[in-house]
C-alpha cells in the first residue's frame, strides 16, 4: 500500500484530531503517503482532498473538533455517489482508507469495500461509547468529564437552595455517559435507555432521601430514556411530590461534543489511529480497531454494527449503593 | 456595634462564600462578634442562626454556592414575618446585618431598617451584573467564563460541521453576560434585552458571513431578549434562510450559577465583604458596598433599586467590528 | 463483621475522598458500622477516630485531598506503636480495616495482621500508578491530566518563542505519568526511569527535529530518570547543542497531587472502595482490591509489594512514532 | 494611513491573539490594510511579513501564545538593525505600527519613531501587570487564574498533610500576581518586591497560625522578593521554626504564561487592540492604549517606561485581615 486517505464522519468527538495525527504520523513513519479527505464521504465525492505531511498535524493533538470537518452524506448512500467517490480515489491513487466515526460511517465503508474493493479500517470516534468491539470510544471520556463539570456546578446551586435537579446528558441509545457522570457526580439516581426506571421509583427514591434529611437531589437522565426527556420526567414527578418542591431542569446539549480532549481520549485516539493505519497497511479491511482489556483488537464492521454493547451491571448497582 | 449577622439571599452566585469569609474575618479583626443566618430571611424568621468564628470560614474561599444557603421568603414580605425576624435578632443581641444578594434582598433590608432601625449594608451578589452602584457584581466574572467555556466547546463542533449555533445565556433583564461572553467567544452577533435586534438584521448578518465564506456562526441570545428565547429566535431564522442550513440551539441554564469562583470574583467578593462589614461598623445603613473605578463606594439601596445600569455602548460596537 | 475502620495513608491522591465515600456508603448499605481514622497509622495509635454515617461523606466525591488526612508514622514501625494501635481498635470494637494508600501502607497492614490478626483490605491510592495488581491507581488519571494541562500551557509559550522545554513530572520509580502525559501532550521525547535514554540520543532527536524545521520541542522527564532531574538533563544538553538555543526548565511539583478528581478517578475510586469494603466483609485479608481488565480482583499485599509493574512497550513505541 | 503592520514582542501573554484579531478586524473595518510581522523586531529586520485578512484571525480568540510569534532582537538595538527594519517597512508601504508587548518593546518603538518617523501605538501585553497607563495588562488575569488553580490544588495536599507550602509565582519587579492570587487563594502571607517582609515576620505569622490551630499554611512569594526565591525563603524559615515542620516549595514557572485566555483578558485585549489601531489611524504615535477606570486612554511611551505602578495598599491590607 503506497497511498491512503483519512477522513472523519458522523458527529464530531473530542480526540478526533489526535486520531488524525496518529494516522498521518503512523503512515509517514511507515513510508506511506496520506491524503486528508474533508467532510467525510461528501468530500470523497467532491474530491475535496489534500496531501498531508507530518507537520500538517502539528499542534492539533489538544484541539477539539476535527480539522478534516465532518458531515453526513446522503449522496454516498446512492450507487452514483459511491461511483464518484471511487473514481476520485482511483484518480488520486488512494488504495485504502482510515475512517474515524461510528456505525453509520462503518456501514458506508463496508458497502463501499464490497462494491469497489477499497479496504477501510475504522477508528471508533463518538462520544456515546455505544460501539461493540472497544471498551471505550474516542471522545467518551471527555464528554463524561464535561457533563461532570456541569453536574459539579449545578450541585453548588442545588445545595444552596435545597433543590431537585434533573440533568439531561447525551446518549440516544446508550446510558454510558449518564451512568459514568452520575456515579462520578454523586447523583441520587440515573435514568438510562437500557433499564426501565418507572416514575414511581423515582418518587420513592426522592422521598427516601428526604426522610434521611437530604435536602437537595440530582437525577441524571439520558436523552434516550423511555420516560422521556428530563423535562418530561420532571413534569411527571412534579405532580407526584410536594407541589412546593423546587424542581429545575438543565439539558447539557452540544457542549458535551466539544472541548480539549482529556489525556485518556488523546492516548486512546493515538493508539487507535496508529492501530488503524498499521492494520490497513497489514492488509486488514472492513474492521474497526478497538482496545479491549488494554489490547488492540480488530472487529469486523458487521459485528460492530450488529452486536449490542450492554451497560455494566456493576456500575448500575453502584449508583444505588453510593446514594444510600 | 458588638454583634452582627450575615446572610445570603436570592439566587446564589459564585464568590458568595469568599464574601462571607471576608465579612466574618473582617468582623473578627475588628473585635465584632458575627452570627451566620441560614437561608436568608427565612432563617432570620425561624431563628436558624449560629455563631461564626474565624475557622468557620476556612477553606471556603474557592467553593461555589453559599455555605449559609439561600432562599426566597414570602413571609418576610409580611409585617408579621418581619416582626418575628426582629424579635429573633433582639434576642440574639444582633445590632446590624450584612446582606449578600440583589435588589430583592436590598428592598427587604431597607423596609426592615425603616420599620425597626436595624441597619443593613449590602454586598452585590448576583451573576447578572444588573446592579447600579458597582461596576461588577460578585459572580458575574465566573458566570461569563462558564458561558465562555461552553461557547468555546460549541465552536469546536460548529466549525466541524458548518453549523449555525444559537446559545442562550442568563440575563432576564440584562445583556451583560451575553455581551461579554459574546465578545470573548468571538460570536457573530449578540442579542440583548437592552437593544432591539430585528430578525431581519440577524438574517442579514448571517448572509453577509456566508458571502465571505464563513461556514459556521455563533449567535448569543440573552434569555430576556425581545425576540424570545434562543429556540424561538432560531425557529424564526430557520424559515428565512436556506432551509437546509444546519441550525442548532443550546441553552446553558443553571451551570452558569455554579463552579469555583474566578480570581476576579474572589477578590471582588473579599473587597466587598470587607467593605460591607467595615461600613456597617462605621455607621452606614441601607447602602450597598460597590467598586466603581477601583474605589470602594457606598450607594443607597433606593438608588441601586431605582436606577438602571445601562450596557456599555463601546462593547456593543465592538461586537460588530470584531465579527467583520 | 460488625464494625470496621477506614483510613488514608502515604502521599495523598485525588479520588481518595471518593474512595472513602464508597467505603462508608458500602458499609452502611451492608449494615456494618464504620469509623474514620484520622492521619493514618498515627491516628490509629493516638485514637483519633470518629463514627461515620452516610451523610459524613456527602458532597466530598468531587474534592481533592483526603478528609481523613494522611501522615507517615514512624511509631507504627515499632512493636510498641502497633500494640497501642491494636489496643485502640479493640477498645472500639473495630474488627477490620480498609487502608487507602500505597505499598508503604500495605506493608504496615500486612505486618499488623500477622501480629494481631486484624484483617485489612487495601485500595490503591497513589498518583504514581506503580502498584502491581491494578491497571490504574486512584489519582493517576487526574495527575496525568494536571500534568497535561501544564504541558498544553507551556506549548503555547514554547511555540511563541521557538524554545526547547524540559518539563519534570512526578514518578520517582515509575515513568507512567511521564509517558501518558508525554503522548497526550505531543512531546518530542519522554525520559523515564525504566528505560535508559542517553543524552546523546536526546541531542540526536533535537537535531532531527530542527532538520525538519521543528522550531520548538518539549521533552518530559520523570523525576526518577537516571540522567538526573530535568534541570540536570537540560544542563547536559545545553553544552552539546547550539549554545544560543533557548532552553527552559519547569518542574511541575506538588500541583500534580491536588485538584478535583477526574471522572475516571472518581469511578475507579468508587469501585475500589466498594470492592475493598465488600472484600473485607466477605473475609478477605492482606489483599489489595484492584481493577484488571475491567474486573475487580484481589491481590495479596505481598505480591503488590514484591512484583514490578513494567511500563507498556506499546506506549514507549508510540512516543517515537508520533513525534516523527 | 493606508497600510499598517502589527507585531508581538517580548514575553508572550495569553490574550495576545485576541489583541492581534482586534487590530486586524479593526483595520479591515476602517478600510486599512494590515500586515503581520513575525517574531517582533527580528521579523521586521528580516522582512518576515505577510498580508492579513479578516479570516487570518478566525478561530484564534481563544488561543494562548501568539500566532505572530515573539522574540527579543539585539539587532534592533543597533542603528544598522533599525535601518534595515525601516527599509523593509518603506518597501512594503507600511506607514504605522501596532506593537503588542511591554516596556522593552515600547522603548524600541519610541527610538524608532524618533529616528524614522514611523508612528507606533502600543498595546500592553505582559502577564506581570507592571505597566503604568493601564489598570490591567493583557494576560494578567489569566496568569492570576493559572496561579490560583495551582494554589487550589496545593491547598488540597497541604491540608491533607498539615504542611507549610511556599509557592513562587512570576513577577520579577512586581507583586501583582502574588497579591491577587494570594488573596484569591486564601494565602496566609504574600511576599512581594514592593514591600519588605522580614523573615522574622514570616515566622511570627506561622507561629500565630499554629497557636490558633491552623495546621497548614500557604505563603506566596513573588520571584523578585528581596528575601530571595521561595526555596531560599523556605530554607531560612526552616531553621527558625520547629525542625520537624513539613515545609514544601513549589515554583510555578512558565505555566503562568500559557493557556486559553480568560474572558477578562480576551475582552481587554479586544478593547486595547481596537483602541490601538483606531488611535494609530487617528494620528497617535509613541503612546500606549490602556484602560483606566473603564475608559480608553493613551499614555506616552515615555511615561509608561518611566513611571512606577505601585501596588494597591488596600490589597496588601486585605491579605492581613483575611488570614486572621
List, for residues B182-218, the tens digit of each pLDDT value.
999 999 999 999 998 999 999 998 888 877 777 789 9
pLDDT digits (tens, 9 = 90+) for B263-298: 999 999 999 999 999 999 999 999 999 999 999 999
Distance CA D174, CA D36 (A): 31
Local confidence band at B13 (pLDDT 50, 70, 90 cut-offs): very high
CB contact under 8 A, C69 and D259: no
Nearest Cα of chain D lies from the Cα of C162 at a distance, in angstroms, of 8
Could you give the 3-state DSSP secondary structure of residue A90? helix
Q: Is the pLDDT of residue A24 over 90?
A: yes
For residues B90-95, average pLDDT = 98
Query: C255, C263 in Cβ contact below 8 A?
Result: no
- On whether C58 is known to bind a ligand per the annotation, the reply is no
Distance CA A237, CA A198 (A): 11
Nearest CB among B64, B70, B250 relative to A255 is that of B250
Quote the pLDDT of residue D29: 96
Over pLDDT 90: what percentage of chain C? 85
Query: D50, D88 in Cβ contact below 8 A?
Result: no
For residues A212-236, average pLDDT = 89
- On whether B11 is known to bind a ligand per the annotation, the reply is yes
Local confidence band at B87 (pLDDT 50, 70, 90 cut-offs): very high
Nearest CB among D12, D64, D159 relative to C65 is that of D159
Mutate to test the interface with B, among D184, D277, D310 (most CBs of B within 10 A): D184
For residues B226-236, average pLDDT = 91
Quote the pLDDT of residue B151: 97
Quote the pLDDT of residue A72: 87
CB contact under 8 A, A162 and B69: yes
Q: Is the pLDDT of residue B113 over 80?
A: yes
CB contact under 8 A, B270 and D322: yes
Lowest average pLDDT, out of A91-95, C254-258, D225-229, goes to D225-229
The position carrying cell 446518549 is A171
CA distances in angstroms from A165 to A14, B22, B184, C204, listed in the order given: 27, 30, 29, 57
Distance CA C124, CA A292 (A): 23
Over pLDDT 70: what percentage of chain B? 100
Distance CA B200, CA B208 (A): 12
pLDDT digits (tens, 9 = 90+) for A79-131: 999 999 999 999 999 999 999 999 999 999 999 999 999 999 999 999 999 99
Q: Is the pLDDT of residue B239 over 90?
A: no
The position carrying cell 484579531 is D21
C150 part of contact set with chain D, CB < 8 Å: yes
A 185-214 → C contacts, CB under 8 A: 185-186, 212-213
Residues of A whose CB is below 8 A from B71: 161-162
Distance CA C295, CA C309 (A): 18
pLDDT digits (tens, 9 = 90+) for D78-95: 999 999 999 999 999 999
For D141-257, the fitting CATH number among 3.40.50.460, 1.10.287.470, 2.60.120.10, 1.10.3720.10 is 3.40.50.460
Lowest average pLDDT, out of A102-116, A204-218, A286-300, D13-27, goes to A204-218
Distance CA C265, CA A184 (A): 8
Q: How many Cβ contacts (< 8 angstroms) between chains A and C?
A: 118
D257 part of contact set with chain C, CB < 8 Å: yes
pLDDT digits (tens, 9 = 90+) for C170-225: 998 899 999 999 999 999 999 999 998 999 999 998 888 877 777 789 999 999 88
Can you read off the three cell numbers belonging to residue C177? Answer: 505519568
Question: What residue segments make up the domains of chain D, in order of their start?
Answer: 3-139+261-306, 141-257
Distance CA C69, CA C173 (A): 24
Quote the pLDDT of residue B241: 82
Average of per-residue pLDDT values in chain B:
94
Residue of A nearest to B160 (CA): A69
Nearest Cα of chain A lies from the Cα of B161 at a distance, in angstroms, of 6
Number of helices (H), then strands (E), in chain A = 11, 11
Quote the pLDDT of residue D323: 84
Local confidence band at B99 (pLDDT 50, 70, 90 cut-offs): very high
Q: Comparing C268 with B209, which gets the higher pLDDT?
A: C268
For residues C119-125, average pLDDT = 98
Quote the pLDDT of residue C50: 98
CB contact under 8 A, A61 and C184: yes
Can you read off the three cell numbers belonging to residue D137? Answer: 495588562
Helix (H) or strand (E) holding B298: strand B295-300
Lowest average pLDDT, out of A225-229, B1-5, D271-275, goes to A225-229
CATH numeric code, B142-257: 3.40.50.460
Q: Is the pLDDT of residue D270 over 90?
A: yes
CATH topology agreement for domains B3-139+261-306 and B142-257: yes
D66 part of contact set with chain C, CB < 8 Å: yes
CB contact under 8 A, D64 and C253: no
C78 part of contact set with chain D, CB < 8 Å: no
C178 part of contact set with chain A, CB < 8 Å: no
CATH architecture label of A143-258: 3-Layer(aba) Sandwich (3.40)
Quote the pLDDT of residue C210: 79
State whether CATH 3.40.50.450 applies to domain D3-139+261-306: yes
Quote the pLDDT of residue B188: 92
Nearest CB among B28, B152, B322 relative to D22 is that of B322
Average of per-residue pLDDT values in chain D:
95
Chains contacting D (3 or more CB pairs within 8 Å): B, C
CB contact under 8 A, A70 and B160: yes
Nearest to A162 by CA among B15, B70, B260, B44: B70
Nearby residues of B280 by Cβ (< 8 Å), 6 or more positions away: B1, B4, B96, B97, B98, B119, B120, B121
Nearest Cα of chain A lies from the Cα of B230 at a distance, in angstroms, of 14
CB contact under 8 A, A141 and C294: no
C 267-306 → A contacts, CB under 8 A: 267, 270-271, 274, 293-294, 296
pLDDT digits (tens, 9 = 90+) for B20-73: 999 999 999 999 999 999 999 999 999 999 999 999 999 999 999 999 999 989
**Active-site choice (C12, C48, C87, C128):** C128
| β-pair partners for B178 | none
Please report, to the nearest 10 degrees, the dihedral formed by the alpha carbons of residues C132, C134, C139, C145 taken in order: 100
Q: Is the pLDDT of residue D213 over 80?
A: no
Nearest CB among D22, D59, D263 relative to B144 is that of D263
Nearest to D202 by CA among B79, D192, D194: D192
Distance CA B45, CA B270 (A): 27
Quote the pLDDT of residue D230: 93
**Active-site choice (A12, A48, A91, A128):** A128
Average of per-residue pLDDT values in chain A:
94
Could you give the 3-state DSSP secondary structure of residue C196? coil
Lowest average pLDDT, out of A141-145, A198-202, B65-69, C114-118, goes to A198-202
Nearest Cα of chain A lies from the Cα of C275 at a distance, in angstroms, of 10
Distance CA B122, CA B285 (A): 9
Residue of A nearest to B257 (CA): A157
Can you read off the three cell numbers belonging to residue D128? Answer: 506581570
Local confidence band at A246 (pLDDT 50, 70, 90 cut-offs): confident
pLDDT digits (tens, 9 = 90+) for C270-305: 999 999 999 999 999 999 999 999 999 999 999 999
Residues of A whose CB is below 8 A from B156: 12, 14, 63-65, 257-259
Quote the pLDDT of residue A245: 81
Residues of C whose CB is below 8 A from A148: 263, 266
Nearest to C303 by CA among C4, C103, C62: C103
Quote the pLDDT of residue B324: 75
D145 part of contact set with chain B, CB < 8 Å: yes
Nearby residues of D77 by Cβ (< 8 Å), 6 or more positions away: D108
Nearest to B124 by CA among B283, B307, B258, B299: B299
CATH numeric code, C143-257: 3.40.50.460
Amino acid at each position: 500500500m503506497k497511498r491512503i486517505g483519512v477522513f472523519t464522519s458522523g458527529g464530531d468527538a473530542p480526540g478526533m484530531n489526535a486520531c488524525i495525527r496518529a494516522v498521518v504520523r503512523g503512515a509517514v513513519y511507515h513510508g506511506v503517503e496520506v491524503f486528508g479527505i474533508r467532510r467525510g464521504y461528501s468530500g470523497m465525492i467532491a474530491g475535496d482532498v489534500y496531501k498531508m505531511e507530518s507537520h500538517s498535524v502539528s499542534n492539533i493533538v489538544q484541539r477539539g473538533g476535527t480539522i478534516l470537518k465532518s458531515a453526513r452524506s446522503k449522496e454516498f448512500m446512492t450507487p452514483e455517489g459511491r461511483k464518484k467517490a471511487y473514481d476520485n480515489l482511483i484518480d488520486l491513487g488512494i488504495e485504502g482508507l482510515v475512517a474515524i466515526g461510528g456505525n453509520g460511517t462503518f456501514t458506508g465503508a463496508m458497502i463501499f469495500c464490497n462494491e469497489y474493493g477499497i479496504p477501510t479500517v475504522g477508528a471508533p470516534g463518538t462520544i456515546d461509547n455505544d460501539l461493540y468491539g472497544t471498551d471505550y470510544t474516542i471522545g467518551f471520556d471527555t464528554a463524561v468529564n464535561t457533563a461532570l463539570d456541569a453536574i459539579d456546578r449545578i450541585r453548588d446551586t442545588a445545595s444552596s437552595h435545597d433543590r431537585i435537579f434533573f440533568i439531561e446528558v447525551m446518549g440516544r441509545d446508550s446510558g454510558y455517559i449518564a451512568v459514568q457522570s452520575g456515579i462520578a457526580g454523586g447523583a441520587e439516581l440515573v435514568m438510562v435507555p437500557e433499564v426501565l426506571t418507572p416514575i414511581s421509583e423515582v418518587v420513592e427514591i426522592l422521598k427516601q432521601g428526604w426522610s434521611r434529611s437530604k435536602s437537595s437531589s440530582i437525577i441524571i437522565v439520558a436523552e434516550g430514556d423511555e420516560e422521556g426527556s428530563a423535562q418530561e420526567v420532571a413534569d411527571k414527578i412534579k405532580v407526584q411530590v410536594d407541589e412546593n418542591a423546587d424542581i429545575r431542569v438543565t439539558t447539557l446539549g452540544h457542549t458535551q461534543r466539544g472541548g480539549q480532549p482529556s489525556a485518556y481520549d488523546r492516548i486512546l485516539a493515538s493508539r487507535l489511529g496508529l492501530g488503524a493505519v498499521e492494520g490497513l497497511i497489514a492488509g486488514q479491511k472492513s474492521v474497526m480497531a478497538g482496545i479491549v482489556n488494554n489490547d488492540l483488537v480488530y472487529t469486523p464492521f458487521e459485528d460492530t454494527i450488529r452486536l449490542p454493547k450492554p451497560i455494566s451491571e456493576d456500575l448500575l448497582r453502584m449508583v444505588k449503593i453510593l446514594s444510600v
